[in-house]
Structures are given as C-alpha cells and as structure tokens.
C-alpha cells in the first residue's frame, strides 16, 4: 500500500450558522483516484477547496507529505485544480492558457513550447493551440482546463465536477480519458461529483458524504455491494429500503414474513433497515414466492424491465429481464446473500434523506 500523501485532521467549516463540515478526517494515498461523492450541500466541494487552499478550515489541519499546509496560499501548493465550468482565461488562446503556470514559474521558452505540445497531445487537442477558448466545444474546453493543470506536473490533481456541464455521451468518453490520463501521469486524482455512476466507473476509493459527514469510505465494489447505511444504499444506485426486525443471527423479518439472510451480530429482536437491490429481487409465479404481489408499473429500460410491485404493503422496485404485465400476480423471492441488514441511523445527521435525481 502506498503512503499517505494528504491528510485532513478534524476539519470543521461553517458559514455563519450553517455547518458544512464537522470534524472530518480523511487521508488520500499516493497515486490514488479518490472520489468525494454526495448530494449538493454535502460538503464535498468545500473539502476540495480546503485541499486546494481556496478555503481555510475553522478548525483542524491539512497535511501534505507530512507538512502542515493549512494556511499556505494556493499558489504555493504542489497541486492543481480543474474547476467546474473550466474557468479558462478567455482573453488568451489555448497555448497561452496552458503556458500560464509555466510562464509564472519562469520556465524557458523551449521548455514551455515542448510542454504545450506534450499536453495538447495528451488531451487529444493537437493543432488547437491558436484557438480561443470561446471557439471550442464544452468537451474541448474541459480538455484545455485539464492540460493547463497537468503541465505544471502537480503531485495531485483536484477535479471539481469537471464533467458536469457535458452531455451524457461525452461524459462517458471523458471518464475513460481521465482514467487513461491518470494511468499515464501516475499522479493522485481527487475528484468531486454527485454522479454515482461517474464515481463507480473511475475511482479506486469512493468517499460518500452527506451533510458534512463521511458516510462510508471504500472501493466502488464495497460501496455498491456492502453499503454501510441506508443513505449510502439509497444514493448509490436504486434500493428497496424496508423496516425490519433482526430476529436472531441469519434470520430477519420484514413485511410480516421471515427471510433467511447471512448477517450476524445484530442481537435478537433488533429493529434494522433491510436493503435489497432491485436487480436482486426474483419474480416467480405467485405460488412459489415468499410474498405475493401485483405489478403496478412497467417500463422498458433497454437492458431490463423496471417494474413496481405492490406486495406486503410495500412498493417494491424490481429490475428483471423477464416481463410481467401490469396487473399480473407475482411472487417475490430474495436470495439470503442479497439481503443487506443495516443498523438504524443513530443520529439525525446520518438519516437518509430522500433524493430526487
């Protein structure tokens, strides 16, 4: 495991009475692609701005390579940022934008020329050096912003929702480009997004945040398959979150029916949240299901059908490649290892908020 490059210790930040970050602790390893993921207002951008030096935390400190950089201004930090909406210098052409940081550092003309050429090639924009930013598409401007940051050879690249303004197809292409860039440059990426798909695609580590607190830190697989609480489960992909009671180890009851599961250690008769992914719900003929229900909605999604099934007093979201028409009676079954058991949130701050996407 590579060493810790950036450490955030007990970071708090508030604007007036609005607490944005509360006692946040986080470290970022060398060469990691770490994503801060959460809904708007969760504190992810503030965290990034504190690392970049654009905000000073109220309490706590930021360590870079072991040195305290909490009050170091951004122009003295060994990292560069790709800003939301690119923030290109509109009065300069592409080459001058890319050369800006190098000229400030007093590099030689030849060095700067070589670097511009290298950076333009890296982001697939050869021959665009003389264009003005306003003549470029959103995706091209984004590449210029990335090129402008990476020519300075930062140890860390901060990216603040860099793909937010692009359309879906371009966004997916850019995700692959960013992964390729990261591999070619071999530097640390800290990426902020509210888009869970983006986070799952690109990251080594995902930090899920909500209301100034870290909800879970883990690999994309961990976060998706083993969400630690109902908020994470709900935010990452679709989920059925049902109130249940853990009767004993490996046995849970919800919607009036007992289900076998694989979780242990919750004690007996403990109230819990039961989380089941829509693709893990198995639809059967009515006589073979554990609970019976009726299909109320049906949408064709391409890869699968999305159905809503009213069963046991709960509206289930089900993804299935087998289609059942609206009004059909079906049985529902779930494999034990697909039932996730979670403790009820201890405090209000951790409470899952309903998310409109």
Instruction: Name which of 55 and 273 has its Cβ closer to other proteins.
Output: 55
> How many Å apart are CA 357 and CA 354, to the nearest integer?
10
Q: Take residue 112 and report the two structure tokens written for it.
A: 């700067």
CB of 355 to other proteins, least distance (A): 27
Q: Take residue 243 and report the two structure tokens written for it.
A: 């109130």
Q: Cβ–Cβ contacts within 10 Å for residue 166, how many?
A: 17
Q: Take residue 76 and report the two structure tokens written for it.
A: 């003295």
Residues engaged in binding other proteins (CB under 8 A): 52-54, 73-75, 80-81, 83-85, 87-91, 100-101, 104-105, 148-149, 152
CB of 83 to other proteins, least distance (A): 4
Instruction: Name which of 157 and 341 has its Cβ closer to other proteins.
Output: 157
Instruction: Name which of 85 and 290 has its Cβ closer to other proteins.
Output: 85
DSSP state of 303: S
CB of 87 to other proteins, least distance (A): 4
Instruction: Name which of 62 and 341 has its Cβ closer to other proteins.
Output: 62
CB of 84 to other proteins, least distance (A): 7
CB of 28 to other proteins, least distance (A): 18
Instruction: Name which of 155 and 319 has its Cβ closer to other proteins.
Output: 155
The answer to whether 64 and 228 are in contact (CB under 8 A) is no
Distances (CA, A) of 126 to 77, 99, 137: 29, 15, 15
Distances (CA, A) of 176 to 163, 171, 213: 12, 9, 29
Q: At a CB cut-off of 8 Å and minimum separation 6, what does 222 contact?
A: 216
């Amino acid at each position: 495991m590579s060493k810790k490059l950036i450490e955030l210790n007990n970071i708090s930040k508030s604007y007036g009475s609005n607490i944005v970050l509360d006692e946040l602790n986080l470290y970022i390893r060398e060469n990691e692609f770490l994503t801060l993921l959460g809904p708007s207002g969760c504190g992810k951008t503030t965290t990034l701005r504190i690392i970049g030096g654009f905000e000073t935390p109220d309490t706590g400190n930021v360590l870079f390579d072991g040195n305290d950089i909490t009050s170091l201004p951004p122009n003295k930090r060994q990292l560069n940022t790709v800003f939301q909406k690119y923030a290109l210098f509109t009065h300069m052409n592409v080459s001058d934008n890319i050369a800006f940081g190098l000229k400030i550092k007093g590099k030689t003309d030849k060095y700067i020329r070589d670097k511009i050429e290298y950076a333009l090639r890296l982001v697939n924009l050869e021959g665009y050096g003389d264009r003005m930013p306003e003549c470029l598409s959103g995706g091209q401007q984004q590449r210029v912003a990335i090129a402008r940051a990476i020519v300075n050879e930062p140890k860390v690249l901060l990216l603040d929702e860099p793909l937010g303004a692009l359309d879906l197809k371009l966004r997916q292409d850019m995700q692959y480009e960013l992964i390729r860039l990261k591999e070619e440059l071999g530097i640390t990426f800290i990426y902020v997004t509210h888009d869970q798909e983006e986070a799952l695609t690109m990251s080594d580590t995902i930090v899920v945040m909500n209301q100034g607190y870290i909800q879970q830190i883990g690999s994309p697989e961990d976060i998706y398959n083993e969400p630690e609480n109902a908020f994470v489960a709900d935010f990452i992909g679709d989920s059925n979150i049902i109130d249940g009671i853990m009767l004993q180890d490996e046995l849970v009851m919800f919607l009036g029916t007992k289900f076998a599961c694989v979780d242990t250690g919750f004690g007996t008769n403990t109230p819990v949240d039961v989380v089941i992914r829509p693709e893990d719900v198995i639809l059967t003929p009515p006589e073979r299901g554990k609970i019976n229900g009726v299909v109320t909605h049906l949408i064709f999604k391409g890869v699968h059908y999305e159905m809503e099934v009213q069963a046991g007093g709960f509206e289930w979201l089900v993804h299935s490649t087998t289609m059942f028409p609206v009004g059909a009676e079906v049985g529902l079954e779930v494999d034990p290892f697909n039932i996730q058991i979670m403790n009820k949130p201890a405090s209000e701050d951790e409470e899952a908020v309903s998310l409109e996407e």
